[in-house]
């Protein structure tokens, strides 16, 4: 499984564009990239309820462990791939 990419804004973050979402009883699996070797992140139900993420937006993980969701237009306007 591939790692999240690192992006730069006011601080470095790891992020992925959510291309596919698969719900399960404990939360949701996000996937991005090649279906044969995707980047995958599993989030819990609390994340889903707090952020209400949509496909096409970005899952974001800060290096202190916080997780966030940022809509695509806002993320792409303010973050650069390192």
pLDDT in tens, 32-72: 999 999 999 999 999 999 999 999 999 999 999 999 999 99
Q: Is the pLDDT of residue 15 over 90?
A: yes
- At residue 53, the 3 state secondary structure works out as coil
Q: Is the pLDDT of residue 9 over 80?
A: no
In total, the chain counts a number of residues equal to 82
Q: Is the pLDDT of residue 1 over 70?
A: no
Q: Provide CB contacts within 8 A for 14, sequence distance 6+.
A: 3, 4, 5, 6, 7, 60, 61, 63
Q: Which of 7, 10, 14 is nearest to 64 (CA)?
A: 14
């Amino acid at each position: 499984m591939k790692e999240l990419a690192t992006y730069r804004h006011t601080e470095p973050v790891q992020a992925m564009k959510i291309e596919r979402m698969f719900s399960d009883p404990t939360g949701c699996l996000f996937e991005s990239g090649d279906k044969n070797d995707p980047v995958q992140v599993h989030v819990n139900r609390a994340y889903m309820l707090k952020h209400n993420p949509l496909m096409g937006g970005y899952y974001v993980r800060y290096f202190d462990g916080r997780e966030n969701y940022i809509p695509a237009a806002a993320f792409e306007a303010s973050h650069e791939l390192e």
